[in-house]
Amino acid sequence: MNAVEINILIVISLVTIAKQDKVSIKCYCGDDISVLHLAPDITLPRLKSKLKKEYGTRMVIKFKDEDGDKVRMKKTAQLTKALKSASDGMF
């Protein structure tokens, strides 16, 4: 089975759901757009698990970096950096 490419745009909305802070992550897969509200300290394996549940398939996760390039996300450190970069631009 081939992996599906999912582009993730980290949308900086710090929202409070049931008294817990969450980040909104907008995911694009073809014409489909989903928004996931997740804990700010989410790990990449946990995000992949959530996306597999959402889309029902393996995937390649890419995000837009500060230069606008689509970069394949391979490590939790990249996800953490992307979330931090997005929140730094917001606050």
| Strand order through the sheet with 32-38 | 32-38, 20-29, 4-17, 59-64, 70-72
Higher-confidence residue of 15 and 4: namely: 4
Three-class secondary structure of residue 34 per DSSP: strand
- What are the pLDDT digits (tens) for 35-62? 888 888 899 999 989 888 888 877 788 8
For residue 77, pLDDT over 90 is answered with: yes
